[in-house]
Structure 1
Amino acid sequence: MDHSKKNQKTILQSSRRDFVKNTAIFTAGMLLPTMEMAAMANVFNDKTLKLAVVGCGGRGTGAAVQALRADENVQLVALADAFEDRLKGSLESLQKEFEGTKRIQVKDNHQYVGFDAYKKAIDQADVVILATPPGFRPYHFEYAVNSGKHVFMEKPVATDVPGVRKVLEMAKIAKEKKLSVVVGLQRRYQNNYLAIKQQIDEGKAGLITSGQVYWNSSGVWVNPRTANQSELEYQMRNWYYFNWLCGDHILEQHIHNIDVANWFIGEYPISAQGMGGRLVRTGPEHGEIFDHHFVEFKYPSGAVISSQCRHQPGTWSKVGEVFQGNKGIIDMNDAGAASISDFQGNTIFEYKGRRDPNPYQVEHDKLFASIRNKEGLNDAEIGAKSTLSAIMGRMATYSGQMINWEQALASEKILMPQEVTWNSIPPTVPGADGNYPIPAPGKTIIF
């Protein structure tokens, strides 16, 4: 999620490699080439679709590339970001990526900067990419849906429960309007995950009774504070470390693995309890979030999922999921491996393909096919409920209490202000010693 130009370049280079591969979409148990899907879609509608990007960091820039590659009749017409340097850097990268084409049509007066810029950009488009820090997502999604726009939005879709409820409300309205909405939970568009889900549905692993899901890594970027920088700008440029903007890494990153558990089990958790804290990332440059969380999620069926996420350099790293069914063990790996084995170690099923096609690309292929074919693909409710699952985990680790679904869903605690201006005071500010208040289990009030 690094917003630097270096990260934008890396994403674009990665995209180039992915696009020259044999892109395909896993649908109804078979693979369909992307170009075939695009051709099928355009039989129904060859209108040029206007695209706007709200949030011009690395993810927004990468998503713009994927959207433009998904459909040959899409033009980027507007950009919006809180920071002009990010917007200009994104535009420059995209112009280089599509040099010699007419795909980038962003006029000077359609480059919008500021906290209200999203409205102006959305107004120009048929399809919008929402890729700002996730605290803003509910309000941006609300405006887009009320404006009748199709949406790709990054996960998570909120940082607090009032935001989740807003997304759930707008998800229903989007369905009523037959708008297409895709949320960036790309494992749901990834071939090895789709193949294993089909095997689960066919009963090959039996009933899932337990599992372990992981996002253990060394952590992410830090942007040092600069001279004459306001507290708001500092937090905006280091949004990952502030809950009103990010929601902690159990939400911003680990939501992927929690979502896989929800998807494979076919339920959402009814309760969560766990622990967490800060042992390695303890300085003010790491804001207010924890560097480790461990949560037990219990599901209506009785399944219990152990959830780990950690940002500690030099420790064991794993991003993936393992599940135990009453017939076998499911082992997932984000790199592309996937298998089901029995309790004696014999293979029941093995996914022998590769991670290709790039699931980040497939998300957009499916979105634009849905728009063209008027299918009304809508991930918003799934995204909101998996967001709530991760927030419930954060509530459990911050408070040290058992949190249930109904209790979490009823929370009125607002982390993200509805309106932010450059004169706003952030919801969290440092103390006299320069440190931010840190959640303390047994003391922190989460409702």
Structure 2
Amino acid sequence: MRKERKNTVSRRSFCKNSAIVTGGLLTVPLNVAASANVIGDDAIKIALVGCGGRGTGAIVQALSTKENVKLVAMADAFQDRLDGCLGIVSQKFADTEKIAVKDENKYVGFEAYKNAIDLADVVILTTPPGFRPLHFEYAVNQGKHIFMEKPVATDAAGIRKVLEAAEIAKQKQLNVVVGLQRHYQKSYLACLDKIREGSIGQIVSGQVYWNSEGVWVKERQEAQTEMEYQMRNWYYFNWLCGDHIVEQHIHNIDVANWFIGEFPIHAQGMGGREVRKGNRYGEIFDHHFVEFTYPSGAVISSQCRHQPGCITNVSESFMGTKGTIYTDSQNKGIIKDYSGNLIYEHQGLEDPNPYQTEHDKLFASIKAGTVINDVEHAAKTTMTAILGRMATYSGQLITFDDALNWGRRIVPDTFSWDTSPKVLPDADGNYPVPVPGVTQVLEPVST
């Protein structure tokens, strides 16, 4: 038998306790105490935690909303990232008073997030996702409204922490928007409405894709500790990134969960490294293929690939009992019946940018005293992507319940520049790569 874990969570109770947020919006009256720092103030004060590329984009979008907002604090593990981000936003908003970051409110290091969060009404959490559960928990405990990027964790322990903090956020009536921006994209919302109207009947199968060439690599520098090297190359280490099935392909997996209205009961799949090999690519795969099976019987094929020179595809398609639907990130949405007749077509060339819309909605909700809460759905979708990774790494059929309750903890217990991550290179500089049929992804069992 498996050893007992306190507070184990089943997929059924996980789904029952919080319904899927199908439109990204859950609006309820906001407790005045939860917005005491905002209502009546001249400006909503923002802290940015994580000043890399996504953090820079997110703070530009936050400062571009129509509300009266100011950036008052910044935090990052690296000084150069903070300085680079501040330089970009200072130039972009040079003719405004939106940049109000004093020198003493620029914080660097592993504990920097606390100082920055303490100064703000709203926090933007855009570090590598391995840190997200820790930062989210602190922000919630401090009573802050939150925008946080996806995914919300990289292992099951992180998901459980996020869920616990989500309950506190709900009690405090805090706004929490998560960067699964398709929930704020007009084409996807329009197609969801058509699904609910019964245009394609019940979804029974589908395919979701994120196939592209991959991302950057940063070469190892002299005198870097292993912790610094991995953090500079966070995309290639699971405790930081989750592998590209979690960090990137989560968007397409999320659409499947959202449109079907369920979360899978189990997954099985395959994956490996065919092109992106060598120690400069850490431990992650360059391709994954997963079959997710849902309670209704629907089966979704999930495909993601980072291989240059191959076909690029970032889209979703679903087959229902009455017809098919196709969506992609370029604002397209097409529905046909099985005779080939066009039922609906969305060509949103003039649709608003969903990255901007999610911030517009967040700050408008704060100002209005209402609540948007994306976090529970985002946690379930993140767990779905983690389940897919566990299936491809192990080569086994993994249930959602086992993945959530027994998935191995991969994030370090403490953080410093001298901390040794749980995955280290061998004498030749090579990192251990998961081997299907050999790699164990669940915690050991006791008899």
Question: Normalising to structure 2: TM-score of the pair?
Answer: 0.89
In the TM superposition, what is the alpha-carbon distance from 1:426 to its structure 2 partner?
Answer: 1.5
Residues 412 and 341 of structure 1: CA distance in aligned 2, closer, same or farther (over 3 Å): closer
Residues 53 and 130 of structure 1 are in contact (CA less than 8 Å); yes or no, is this contact kept in structure 2? yes
In the TM superposition, what is the alpha-carbon distance from 1:356 to its structure 2 partner?
Answer: 2.3
Match among 279, 302, 310 for residue 307 of structure 1: 302
Residues 397 and 441 of structure 1 are in contact (CA less than 8 Å); yes or no, is this contact kept in structure 2? yes
In the TM superposition, what is the alpha-carbon distance from 1:374 to its structure 2 partner?
Answer: 2.1
User: In the TM superposition, what whole-angstrom CA distance separates every residue of 1:232-286 from its partner, at most 9, and x where no partner exists?
Assistant: 1111100000001001000000000000000000000111000000010111000
**Correspondence 1:381 to 2:376:** yes
User: In the TM superposition, what whole-angstrom CA distance separates every residue of 1:147-197 from its partner, at most 9, and x where no partner exists?
Assistant: 000000000000000100111111111011000000000001001000000
Equivalent residue for 2:62? Answer: 67
Equivalent residue for 2:168? Answer: 173
**Correspondence 1:212 to 2:233:** no
Equivalent residue for 1:293? Answer: 288
Q: CA–CA distance in 2 between the matches of 1:128 and 1:77?
A: 10
**Correspondence 1:396 to 2:391:** yes
Q: CA–CA distance in 1 between the matches of 2:194 and 2:323?
A: 11
Q: What letter corresponds to residue 264 of structure 2 in structure 1?
A: P
User: In the TM superposition, what whole-angstrom CA distance separates every residue of 1:395-440 from its partner, at most 9, and x where no partner exists?
Assistant: 0000000011111111252111242011211211100111000000
Contiguous gaps of at least 5 residues in structure 2: 1-22, 26-37, 443-447
Q: What letter corresponds to residue 186 of structure 2 in structure 1?
A: N
Q: Secondary structure at the match of 2:242?
A: coil
User: In the TM superposition, what whole-angstrom CA distance separates every residue of 1:86-120 from its partner, at most 9, and x where no partner exists?
Assistant: 00000010100000211000000000000000000
Give the number of equivalent residue pairs. Answer: 408
Equivalent residue for 2:234? Answer: 239
**Correspondence 1:277 to 2:272:** yes
Q: CA–CA distance in 2 between the matches of 1:178 and 1:353?
A: 34
Q: CA–CA distance in 2 between the matches of 1:207 and 1:165?
A: 31
Q: Secondary structure at the match of 1:410?
A: helix
Q: Secondary structure at the match of 1:273?
A: strand
After TM superposition, where is structure 1 displaced by more than 6 Å over at least 4 residues in a row?
none
Quick one: percent identity of the two aligned structures? 64
Q: What letter corresponds to residue 305 of structure 2 in structure 1?
A: R
User: In the TM superposition, what whole-angstrom CA distance separates every residue of 1:275-313 from its partner, at most 9, and x where no partner exists?
Assistant: 000010111000000000000000111100000000000
Residues 192 and 355 of structure 1 are in contact (CA less than 8 Å); yes or no, is this contact kept in structure 2? no
Match among 131, 134, 141 for residue 129 of structure 2: 134
**Correspondence 1:348 to 2:343:** yes
Residues 213 and 261 of structure 1 are in contact (CA less than 8 Å); yes or no, is this contact kept in structure 2? yes
Q: CA–CA distance in 1 between the matches of 2:266 and 2:388?
A: 9
Question: Normalising to structure 1: TM-score of the pair?
Answer: 0.89
CA RMSD, 1 decimal? 1.5
Match among 251, 256, 262 for residue 261 of structure 1: 256
Q: CA–CA distance in 1 between the matches of 2:207 and 2:40?
A: 44
Contiguous gaps of at least 5 residues in structure 1: 1-25, 29-42
Q: CA–CA distance in 2 between the matches of 1:45 and 1:109?
A: 26
* Correspondences of 1:24-103 after superposition (within 5 Å): 47-103=42-98
Compare relative contact order (CA 8 Å, sep 6+) and give the higher one, 1 or 2: 2
In the TM superposition, what is the alpha-carbon distance from 1:372 to its structure 2 partner?
Answer: 1.3
Equivalent residue for 1:365? Answer: 360
Residues 271 and 288 of structure 2 are in contact (CA less than 8 Å); yes or no, is this contact kept in structure 1? yes
In the TM superposition, what is the alpha-carbon distance from 1:121 to its structure 2 partner?
Answer: 0.4
Q: CA–CA distance in 2 between the matches of 1:116 and 1:258?
A: 33
Q: What letter corresponds to residue 206 of structure 2 in structure 1?
A: G
Residues 139 and 418 of structure 1 are in contact (CA less than 8 Å); yes or no, is this contact kept in structure 2? no
Residues 154 and 184 of structure 1 are in contact (CA less than 8 Å); yes or no, is this contact kept in structure 2? yes
Match among 220, 225, 233 for residue 225 of structure 1: 220
**Correspondence 1:109 to 2:99:** no
Q: CA–CA distance in 1 between the matches of 2:369 and 2:335?
A: 36
Q: CA–CA distance in 2 between the matches of 1:275 and 1:390?
A: 14
Residues 65 and 363 of structure 2 are in contact (CA less than 8 Å); yes or no, is this contact kept in structure 1? yes
Q: CA–CA distance in 2 between the matches of 1:316 and 1:403?
A: 29
Q: CA–CA distance in 1 between the matches of 2:107 and 2:259?
A: 41
Equivalent residue for 2:429? Answer: 434
Q: What letter corresponds to residue 430 of structure 1 in structure 2?
A: P
Residues 190 and 355 of structure 1 are in contact (CA less than 8 Å); yes or no, is this contact kept in structure 2? no
User: In the TM superposition, what whole-angstrom CA distance separates every residue of 1:195-229 from its partner, at most 9, and x where no partner exists?
Assistant: 00000011111100000000000100101111222
Q: CA–CA distance in 2 between the matches of 1:376 and 1:240?
A: 32
Match among 400, 406, 425 for residue 405 of structure 1: 400
Match among 144, 166, 181 for residue 139 of structure 2: 144
Residues 45 and 373 of structure 1 are in contact (CA less than 8 Å); yes or no, is this contact kept in structure 2? no
